């Protein structure tokens, strides 16, 4: 064994490798992306690893491999599970042969997501088990157990860490060499692998009979456990359990129960924990899941126990918990001393805000600016999408009117067109998002005769989540160089007649391309092609000459973080400037070179 | 040893390397270490923090308020933003060099860090370090991340021996930068050891 100091996502990856995982697929999404990246650093014989084109594809690749008996891992963030929910709902009925673990990382806060959805609720909806680790160390052990339970009950299982588990670091002991899980291969059996209403009916009955048995099994699963005594009990799951333990360091005798497998709920364990208890508080994030489970259990058994939590206002209904918030909740609940709150900071001076902005030299800034200039004074709608370029909404660009979910910008531009045919409707989509879920939207526009201009912001990477490769980059996670899938040919193949490819950093050419496309009816596409500054070499630094008249147009128009004022004078911050030259094309007196 | 260390600054200042060096040095000394970084959108010019927790009974990945023994701050406003984490008798080491927000040029608030440093001095024990002059011999304030570790060791506040940190610098820093980093670390040690803590 050797010790490794790893991020929670690394611990999940190493746990899957220790379980002999054979096929791993997923789509990047904070806070889950580092799982697949870690696995890529440990190439194993016979292990297939891929960034799939989206979460649905990842789920299906892993599902059929698990039909063949392989151990499979699928990774995504919680909103990715929505994309993959179509195969998952059906797969829950069909089941698997090899262990299949679906990691769906939840993001309470939310810190970098669109929703505060709860994968535990999804597990209950799908009727499949879910594991909920409370630390990186536990995640390492628990994901190995997840494969075992998946095979024991021939069902896919969910595994849901949250951001604070995914991004926390800890030391774990891993084997020098990972085992290889041997499997039989696909055995044809259409009664088992082909879903029909009759199979669904039979399997639904089987699942409802099976799940209480899993709940019993889980009641004896070691991470589900309670300690302490008394008439008050605390139920917690995930990182909230760790926060509760942090506060209870001074009160080790208080009854504390960890729910490590929220569904099927370990009822027998919960009932044992509730013995002699008069009042319970549920410390959890996102949905009041444990709270409603306990309410049902207490109601069914007519127990004289009061349940507190989110539904009773004792725990915040939204946002993430913290060691501080849990300490406050528990000191109120237990009547114990509040935790040390630190220095009194009520007289704190106003702090400067540091909102996220597009990086200095980011080509997206130039693309947005070109469209803005080209459409100045014309009625236009700008539908954005998910990626770094969502930041195009910030001042002074202000170029994102809508943002909903992956790929939605393309179809939403169409909806706006049908409500306002006189307006020019634009959709902005990144290259990775285009492949993930943009293509069907383009077909929809062509087929239904919408007028819209598609702007593909092609920076040759999946930048926001940490520069993962995608079908357009020409390399995959097996380390192979593959044919690049051309966005231009893809669009041409669908039937888009007008496709222009421009360098957004050539402002006048980019503006001309937008004007040309905007004037035409039908579906037009502009591919703004320029690599992300984080994966390309800077071309030099811009300099401001004495010709500068301090009009500050550059700052007001493009808002690049490398354009700063010192003592009221415009300067270039050389530590940030990449020499993209956009500011020099904006300057009215050619003072920036 | 039980020690909670918070590192804070602005994305791009090298806070992550500082936290990695502490974590690996403490691990090499046989300590149990947990840490957590802010990752994602916040990195792009935003406020960043690293929480390093040394000791067996650290359960929360983030340091609870009022628990940090030491705050290593790379920017005056960022330490005030995170001051709630400091223990009553905790120590702050802070760079006096302000980093203006990227939006400052759009709406000038005149932020220069001095108000933050005055406030800090009224609230806790702190050592204010002029990162610019400290790092001048090395040609870049980027070496401050290692220099501040040296200052913490020099002040006897890190709970780790200089040798333990120096070994990790040798392991984790690219070869061509090792000499400068070691020199920056030693320069920091001198400042930390000069007992300028108020």
The minimum CA-CA distance between B151 and chain A, rounded to whole Å, is: 24
Do residue A352 and residue B102 have CB atoms under 8 angstroms apart? no
Check CB contact of B57 with chain A, cutoff 8 Å.
yes
Give Cβ neighbours of residue B144 (< 8 Å, ≥ 6 apart). B13, B14, B74, B95, B131, B134, B135, B184
Q: Which of A253, A254, A274, A247 is nearest to A331 (CA)?
A: A247
Distance, CA of B77 to CA of B56 (rounded, Å)? 32
pLDDT digits (tens, 9 = 90+) for B133-143: 999 999 888 89
Residue B194: pLDDT above 90?
A: no
Check CB contact of A340 with chain B, cutoff 8 Å.
yes
Cα nearest neighbour of A567 on chain B: B110
Check CB contact of A246 with chain B, cutoff 8 Å.
yes
Residues of B in contact with A578 (CB under 8 A): none
**Pairing status of strand A563-566 against strand A569-572:** antiparallel
Give Cβ neighbours of residue A34 (< 8 Å, ≥ 6 apart). A7, A9, A10, A13, A166, A466
Q: What is the DSSP letter of B142?
A: G
The minimum CA-CA distance between B174 and chain A, rounded to whole Å, is: 19
Residue ranges of domains in chain A, CATH in brackets: 2-213 (3.40.50.970), 225-334 (3.40.50.920), 363-535 (3.40.50.970), 537-593 (3.30.70.20)
Do residue B87 and residue A342 have CB atoms under 8 angstroms apart? yes
Candidates B38, B84, B102; nearest CB to A357? B102
pLDDT digits (tens, 9 = 90+) for A236-287: 999 999 999 999 999 999 999 999 999 999 999 999 999 999 999 999 999 9
Residue B43: pLDDT above 70?
A: no
**Tens of pLDDT along chain A (593 residues)?**
898 899 999 999 999 999 999 999 999 999 999 999 999 999 999 999 999 999 999 999 999 999 999 999 999 999 999 999 999 999 999 999 999 999 999 999 998 899 999 999 999 999 999 999 999 999 999 999 999 999 999 999 999 999 999 999 999 999 999 999 999 999 999 999 999 999 999 999 999 999 999 999 999 999 999 999 999 999 999 999 999 999 999 999 999 999 999 999 999 999 999 999 999 999 999 999 999 999 999 999 999 999 999 999 999 999 999 999 999 999 999 999 888 777 889 999 999 988 888 989 999 999 999 999 999 999 999 999 999 899 999 889 999 999 999 999 999 999 999 999 999 999 999 999 999 999 999 999 999 999 999 999 999 988 888 889 999 999 999 999 999 999 999 999 999 999 999 999 999 999 999 999 999 999 999 999 999 998 888 888 999 999 999 999 999 999 998 998 888 899 998 888 999 999 999 999 999 99
Write down the residue that tokens 């009955």 correspond to. Answer: A205
Candidates B57, B86, B104; nearest CB to A342? B86
Residues of B in contact with A352 (CB under 8 A): 77, 100-101, 104, 109, 111
Residues 129-148 of B with CB under 8 A from A: none
CATH superfamily of B3-103+111-193: Pyruvate-ferredoxin oxidoreductase, PFOR, domain III (3.40.920.10)
The tokens describing B143, both together, are 């070496």
Residues of B in contact with A348 (CB under 8 A): 80, 83, 119
**pTM to 2 decimals?**
0.95
The minimum CA-CA distance between B188 and chain A, rounded to whole Å, is: 23
Check CB contact of A322 with chain B, cutoff 8 Å.
yes
The tokens describing B44, both together, are 């792009």
Contact indicator for A274, A227 with CB cutoff of 8 Å:
no
ω before A31 within 30° of 0 (cis)?
yes
Do residue A343 and residue B63 have CB atoms under 8 angstroms apart? no
The tokens describing A399, both together, are 């170029």
Sequence-separated contacts (24+) of A288-295 with Cβ below 8 Å:
A288/A315, A288/A317, A289/A118, A289/A120, A289/A121, A289/A124, A289/A237, A289/A262, A290/A235, A290/A236, A290/A237, A290/A259, A290/A262, A293/A262, A293/A265, A294/A235, A294/A270
Candidates A164, A246, A343; nearest CB to B36? A164
Candidates A5, A31, A395; nearest CB to B106? A395
The tokens describing A169, both together, are 């670091």
Domain locations in chain B as residue ranges? 3-103+111-193
Q: What is the DSSP letter of A402?
A: B
The minimum CA-CA distance between B64 and chain A, rounded to whole Å, is: 5
């Amino acid at each position: 064994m050797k010790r490794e100091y790893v991020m929670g996502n690394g611990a999940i990856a190493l746990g899957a490798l220790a379980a002999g995982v054979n096929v791993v697929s997923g789509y990047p999404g904070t806070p889950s992306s580092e799982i697949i990246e870690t696995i890529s650093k440990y190439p194993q014989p016979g292990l297939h690893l891929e960034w799939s084109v989206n979460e649905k594809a990842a789920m299906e690749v892993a599902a059929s491999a698990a039909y063949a008996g392989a151990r499979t891992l699928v990774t995504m963030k919680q909103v990715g599970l929505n994309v993959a929910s179509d195969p998952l709902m059906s797969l829950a009925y069909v089941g698997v042969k090899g262990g299949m673990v679906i990691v769906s990382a939840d993001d309470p806060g939310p810190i970098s997501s669109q929703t505060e959805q709860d994968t535990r609720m999804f597990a209950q909806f799908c009727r499949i088990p879910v594991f909920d680790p409370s630390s990186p160390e536990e995640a390492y052990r628990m994901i190995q157990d997840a494969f075992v339970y998946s095979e024991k009950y021939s069902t896919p299982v969910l595994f849901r860490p949250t951001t604070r588990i995914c991004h926390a670091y800890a030391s774990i002991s891993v084997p020098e060499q990972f085992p290889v899980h041997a499997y039989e291969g696909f055995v044809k059996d259409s009664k088992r692998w082909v879903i029909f209403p009759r199979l669904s009916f039979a399997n639904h009955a089987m699942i409802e009979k099976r799940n209480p048995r899993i709940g019993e099994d889980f009641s004896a699963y070691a991470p589900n456990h309670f300690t302490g005594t008394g008439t008050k009990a605390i139920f917690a799951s995930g990182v909230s359990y760790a926060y509760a333990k942090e506060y209870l360091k001074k009160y080790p005798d208080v009854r504390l129960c960890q729910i490590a497998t929220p569904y099927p709920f370990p009822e027998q364990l919960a009932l044992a924990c509730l013995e002699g208890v008069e009042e319970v508080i549920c410390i959890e994030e996102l949905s009041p899941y444990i709270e409603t489970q306990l309410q049902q259990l207490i109601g069914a058994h007519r127990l004289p126990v009061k349940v507190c939590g989110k539904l009773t206002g004792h725990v915040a209904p939204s946002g993430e918990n913290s060691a501080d918030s849990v300490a406050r909740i528990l000191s109120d609940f237990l009547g114990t001393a509040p935790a040390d709150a630190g220095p009194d900071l009520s007289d704190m001076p106003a702090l400067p805000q540091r909102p996220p902005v597009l990086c200095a030299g980011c080509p997206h800034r130039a693309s947005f600016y070109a469209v803005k200039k080209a459409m100045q004074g014309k009625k236009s709608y700008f539908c954005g999408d998910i990626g770094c370029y969502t930041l195009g909404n910030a001042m002074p660009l202000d170029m994102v009117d809508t943002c909903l979910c992956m790929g939605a910008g393309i179809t939403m531009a169409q909806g706006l067109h049908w409500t306002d045919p006189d307006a020019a409707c634009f959709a902005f989509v990144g290259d990775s998002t285009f492949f993930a879920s943009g293509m069907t939207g383009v077909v929809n526009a062509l087929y239904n005769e919408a007028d819209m201009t598609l702007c593909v912001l092609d920076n040759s990477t999946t930048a926001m989540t940490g520069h993962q490769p995608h079908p357009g980059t020409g390399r995959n996670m097996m380390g192979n160089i593959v044919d690049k899938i051309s966005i231009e040919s893809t669009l041409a193949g669908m039937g888009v007649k007008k496709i222009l490819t421009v360098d957004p950093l050539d402002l006048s050419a980019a503006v001309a391309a937008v004007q040309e496309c905007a004037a035409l009816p039908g579906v037009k596409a502009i591919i703004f092609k320029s690599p992300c500054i984080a994966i390309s070499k800077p071309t030099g630094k811009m300099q401001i000459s004495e010709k500068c008249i301090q009009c500050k147009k550059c700052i007001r128009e493009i808002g690049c973080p490398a354009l700063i004022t010192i003592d009221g004078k415009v300067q270039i911050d050389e530590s940030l400037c990449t020499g993209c030259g956009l500011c020099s094309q904006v300057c009215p007196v050619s003072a920036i070179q | 040893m039980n020690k909670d260390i918070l590192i804070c600054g602005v994305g791009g200042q090298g806070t992550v390397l500082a936290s990695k060096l502490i974590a690996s040095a403490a691990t090499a000394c046989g300590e149990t270490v947990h840490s957590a970084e802010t990752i994602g959108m916040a990195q792009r010019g935003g406020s960043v923090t690293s929480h390093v927790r040394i000791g067996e009974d650290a359960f929360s990945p983030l340091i609870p308020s009022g628990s940090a023994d030491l705050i290593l701050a790379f920017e005056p406003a960022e330490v005030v933003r995170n001051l709630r984490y400091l223990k009553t008798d905790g120590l702050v080491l802070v760079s006096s060099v302000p980093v203006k927000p990227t939006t400052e040029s759009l709406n000038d608030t005149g932020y220069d860090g001095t108000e933050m440093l005055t406030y800090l001095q009224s609230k806790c024990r702190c050592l204010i370090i002029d990162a610019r002059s400290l790092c001048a011999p090395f040609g870049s304030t980027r070496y401050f991340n290692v220099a501040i570790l040296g200052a913490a060791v020099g002040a006897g506040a890190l709970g780790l021996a200089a040798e333990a940190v120096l070994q990790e610098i040798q392991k984790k820093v690219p070869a061509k930068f090792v000499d400068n980093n070691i020199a920056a670390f030693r320069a920091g040690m001198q400042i930390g050891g000069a007992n300028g803590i108020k």
